[in-house]
Structure 1
Amino acid sequence: MSNRPVIVVDAGSYSLAETSIAGAGQRLAEIAQVLGDRFVVRVICSPAPDLVDLGAAEEVAHGGAAEQAIAGADAVMFFDTPDRNRIELAVSHRKLIIGECRAPIEHMSYPSVLTFADPIGEHQRFLGTYRRMLQVAHHFLCRSQVERAALLSTLCAFGRTTPADIMRSATLDHLITTIPIGFSRRGLNAAEAAPPVHMADFLWTGGIWAFFEPLMLVEAMGILRDRGVDTTAAFMHAAPTDDTRSTIGAVGRAIDHLALGDRVHLHTEPLPFSARDQYVKTAEAYVCIARPGAENETGTRLRLRDTWLHGVPTIIDPYGISGDLVAREGIGVVLREPGAECLADALQQVKSGAIGRTGRRMERLYENSMVAFMDWLERELHGG
C-alpha cells in the first residue's frame, strides 16, 4: 500500500476523450499527469473508450465510484465547470479543497445560454457554483497574474481574506498559486514523437467561439489570393457544438462566397487529440483573433500552449491579456489595428520568412511551474 496522499481531480463537465477534449480538459489532464508523479491521483470524468493520457492517474466514473473516491481522498481539486453535488460532498467530508475556477464571463456569450428561455436563470447555474467554490475552497490556482489579481479582489469582497491572512503572507501565497498555461513532460514527449503532417500553413488551433473573429482569417486569405500569395489555412476544430454551430456555419458560407475552398479548410470531423501534434508542429503560424470583450480582458487563451510547446508564432488581436503575453514574450505578432488587410499583411510576412519560429519555452513545463503548489500541498496534508 502506498502512503502517498490521495488527490482526487474532478473533471466536472469537461470531456477527457480523445475526440472531444478542449483546452481546459487538456490542461486538467496534464496537471493530473504531473501530480501523479508525486501523489496518488484519481480523476473523476465521464467514461470514454478513448481517454487521453492521464499518466499514473486512475480514472474514476461518476456516481458511487466518484463518491467513494472523494470520501477516501486527502484533497479534492475542482476546475471551471464543477459538479455542485460533488463540491458539497467534499465539504461534508471535510476535505482539503482546491479550485481552479474563473468567473463565468464567457458563458454569457454562449448561444446555448442566450437562446435559453431564461438566460439570466441559466447563467445563474454557472454563477452559483462559482460563488460556492469561492466560499469553500482552501486554495486557488490561477493561470496568469491578471487572473490572480482579479481573484484577489473577489476573495476580499467575499470576506475570504482577513488581516491575519495578510500577516501570514502579504502576497497571499497560502491561498493562491499561479500555474501559467504550459505543457507536461509527457505532452512534450508526445509532441516530439509525432511525425510531421501538413494540414495547412496557417492554423486556427482551437474552438470557434462566438467572441472570436474567424471570418477575418477567411477574408485575409482572399486578400492573399488576390495578391498572388500561394498559401493555405485551416480551422482544425470545426466539428460543430451547440455553442459553435452558428459561427462555423458562417465561416463555411464565407469560404464558399469567396471561392476559397482550395485554400481554406474547415476540418469538421472530430480530431483525435493524439493526432493534433503532427499538424500543429508543421504550421508556419497560428491565428487567434477575437473581438474586444470582458472575456478576453480577463482570461488567458489556453491555445497559446501550442506556441510555447512547438515554437510556432501566434498571430493575435490586442484585446486583453493574451495579446499582452504574446507581445511581452515575443512569441508572435499582435495586430494593433485588427482587420483583414492587417492580418493578411502579417500572414504574408510569415510566409516570406520575415517572421520565424519563436522556440520552445521550457519555463512553461508544468513539472517546473507546479513545484511550489505541490510543496504547499505536501505541507498542508502533513500538518504544515
Structure 2
Amino acid sequence: MMRPSLLLLMPEYRVDEQMSGIGVRALDLASAMESHCEVTIISAQPSDLPDPPCRILPARTTDIAAWIAAVDAVVFFDLGAPEWLRCAVHARRFIVVENAVPLEHLEYNSDLPENARADTYRRYVRGFRAQVAVADHFLTRSEIERHLLIGALALEGRLAPKDIGISRRLEHLVTNVPIGLSRKDLILSHSTAPDPNLYLWTGGLWDYMAYETALDCFLGDLPGKHLRFLYRPAADQPLRAHKVLLERNLPPEHISFLNRPLPHSQRGLEIEQGAGLICLGRPGIENETSVRLRLRDTLLYRRPIIIDGNGASGEYVRKTGIGITLPELNASALRDAIVALEPSSRMYDACLAAIDQERKTCKLDLTLLPFLQAGQAAGWRPTRRIGDLLVALDRALEGGPSDIPAPFLA
C-alpha cells in the first residue's frame, strides 16, 4: 500500500536555521509523519537545515498549485493565503488545518489607527472562518485550543448529531497534538552539565511577554546569578520593549543578550549551558488560551522552566511538574523560584524526573495517530461536494452569515 503524500504549506514562514516557533512546529510534525507519509514542506525561504526530515521547497521558485494538485493532503498553518485554500478545494484535496481561534490577533498592529486595526482583525476572522468551513480535519496544540475550535465548528454549522455517532470526542474531525517530540528528537537529544548561575530567557513575542519582571528580578538581590536573553526585540517592529531596554541600566554581569541570531541547529548547545529557562507572559486572553511552542525546549533539552500562572502554559507546567509556575507575576516570586531551582536542590531533581516522565508521553508519533487514522478512513479524499465547499468558502471570506449549506448538517 502506497504511503499518502502530505504537503505542509506555509509560504509565509521560514523553515530554516532562523525559523520561528511555527516553523519548528511544522518541522517536528514532518519528522513524526515521515514514517507514515511522504512529506513535503513549502516555506518562505530556501532551507539551510543540515539534516531535514523531508523535502523543503522555497515558495518563490515553486509551483504551489501544481504541488497541491499532486499530493493527497494539504496541511495549512496559521491563517494561510485564501487563494491556496481555494486551490485545494478545486483540486479535491484532503484539507488539514493547524490553527486556533484568532484571539492573539486582537493585539496585532497596535501602532495602527483603531479603524484600521478593526478592519485587519475582521480579515483574520474571515480567514479563520474559511478554514473552518472547508477543512476535512483540524490539528490543535492543547486541550483549550481544541475546545475553542469545537465551539467554532458548532457555530459554523460543521457539527451534527451524526458526528457523535462517529466519535463521541469528534476525533474524526479534530486531533489534539500537544507540544511534543518526535522519535528522532528523543534519539538525538542529550544533556550536559549546566552553569548553575545562568538562566535563559526563551520568551516569545515581546508584546505578550513580561520581560520587565525578569529585569527587575536580576537587577535586584540575586548575587552571582545571570540572565541571558536568547534574542533581541525585532529592530523593524515598533515595540515598547525597545524603549524599556534603552532606559534600563543593564549591567552586563547580571543581564546580557545573545549578540547573534541563534541557528536552530545550535539552539541546544546554547540552552544546555543554562540551569533553567524563564518564559513569563503578560495576563491576557492570548496567554490564557494557548500553550507556548517553546515549552518544547524544556522537554528536549531537560532544563526546568519558570513560567507565569496566567494561562494554559502555566497550567501545563503546574500539572506536569516540569518546572515552577509562579503564584504571582512579580520579581519577588521569580526570585523565590530561582532560589528553589538551584541545580543541586531536591526541587531541581524533581523537575528533571518530571521532564523524563513527560518525555515518555509527549511523543508526536503517538499523538498524531488519530489524525492519520482519520485520513486513512476517508481515503485521504474530501467527502463533500465541491460546489457546496466553494459556496461555504465564499460566504466565510465575504463575512456572510454562518448558515452553512445542507450537506454540512445532513
Instruction: Check whether TM > 0.5.
Output: yes
Report 1:249-328 matches (<5 A): 249-254=243-248, 256=249, 259-328=250-319
Q: Which residue of 2 aligns with 1:16?
A: 15
- 1:154 deviates by 1.1
CA RMSD of aligned residues (A): 2.4
Q: 1:66 aligns with which of 64, 67, 70?
A: 64
- 1:264 deviates by 0.8
Question: Which ranges of structure 1 fall in alignment gaps of 5 or more residues?
Answer: none
Once the two structures are superposed, what CA deviation does each residue of 1:48-91 show, in whole Å capped at 9, x if it has no partner? Answer: 35247431334253465211100111111011131221111101
Report 1:13-162 matches (<5 A): 13-19=12-18, 21-51=19-49, 53-59=51-57, 61-62=59-60, 65-110=63-108, 113-117=109-113, 118-162=116-160
Higher relative contact order structure (alpha carbons within 8 Å, sequence separation ≥ 6)? 2
Taking structure 1 as reference, are residues 352 and 310 closer, same or farther at Cα in structure 2, changes over 3 Å only? closer
- 1:36 deviates by 1.9
Q: Which residue of 1 aligns with 2:217?
A: 220
- 1:319 deviates by 0.6
Taking structure 1 as reference, are residues 382 and 73 closer, same or farther at Cα in structure 2, changes over 3 Å only? closer
CA contact (8 A) 2:46 2:58 kept: no
Taking structure 1 as reference, are residues 350 and 382 closer, same or farther at Cα in structure 2, changes over 3 Å only? closer
Once the two structures are superposed, what CA deviation does each residue of 1:72-115 show, in whole Å capped at 9, x if it has no partner? Answer: 111110111312211111011111101111122212223xx122
Name which of structure 1's ranges 374-383 and 273-282 shifts more when overlaid on structure 2. Answer: 374-383
Task: Give, in whole Å, the separation in 1 of the partners of 2:247 and 2:260.
Answer: 17
Taking structure 1 as reference, are residues 58 and 240 closer, same or farther at Cα in structure 2, changes over 3 Å only? closer
Q: Number of residues paired by the alignment? A: 373
CA contact (8 A) 1:209 1:247 kept: yes
CA contact (8 A) 1:146 1:298 kept: yes
Residue type of the alignment partner of 2:268: D
Q: Which residue of 2 aligns with 1:235?
A: 229
Q: Secondary structure at the match of 2:71?
A: coil
Q: Secondary structure at the match of 1:284?
A: strand
Report 1:202-213 matches (<5 A): 202-213=199-210
Once the two structures are superposed, what CA deviation does each residue of 1:17-75 show, in whole Å capped at 9, x if it has no partner? Answer: 212x1112101111012222221111111123524743133425346521110011111
Task: Give, in whole Å, the separation in 2 of the partners of 1:32 and 1:241.
Answer: 31
Once the two structures are superposed, what CA deviation does each residue of 1:271-303 show, in whole Å capped at 9, x if it has no partner? Answer: 111110012123211111112110011111111
Task: Give, in whole Å, the separation in 1 of the partners of 2:159 and 2:85.
Answer: 21
Taking structure 1 as reference, are residues 382 and 352 closer, same or farther at Cα in structure 2, changes over 3 Å only? closer
Residue type of the alignment partner of 1:351: E
CA contact (8 A) 1:36 1:56 kept: yes
CA contact (8 A) 1:238 1:269 kept: no
Q: Which residue of 1 aligns with 2:375?
A: 377
Name which of structure 1's ranges 360-369 and 373-382 shifts more when overlaid on structure 2. Answer: 373-382
Q: Does 1:247 align with 2:241?
A: yes
Name which of structure 1's ranges 279-288 and 197-206 shifts more when overlaid on structure 2. Answer: 197-206
Name which of structure 1's ranges 157-166 and 363-372 shifts more when overlaid on structure 2. Answer: 363-372
Question: Which ranges of structure 2 fall in alignment gaps of 5 or more residues?
Answer: 384-410
Taking structure 1 as reference, are residues 351 and 200 closer, same or farther at Cα in structure 2, changes over 3 Å only? closer
- 1:217 deviates by 0.6
Task: Give, in whole Å, the separation in 1 of the partners of 2:264 and 2:239.
Answer: 20
CA contact (8 A) 1:78 1:99 kept: yes
Task: Give, in whole Å, the separation in 2 of the partners of 1:299 and 1:371.
Answer: 22
Task: Give, in whole Å, the separation in 1 of the partners of 2:9 and 2:51.
Answer: 16
Task: Give, in whole Å, the separation in 2 of the partners of 1:5 and 1:346.
Answer: 47
So what's the TM-score if we normalise by structure 1? 0.90
- Percentage of identical aligned residues: 29
Residue type of the alignment partner of 2:285: A
CA contact (8 A) 1:252 1:266 kept: no
Once the two structures are superposed, what CA deviation does each residue of 1:122-173 show, in whole Å capped at 9, x if it has no partner? Answer: 2233222111101110111111111111111111011110111122222111
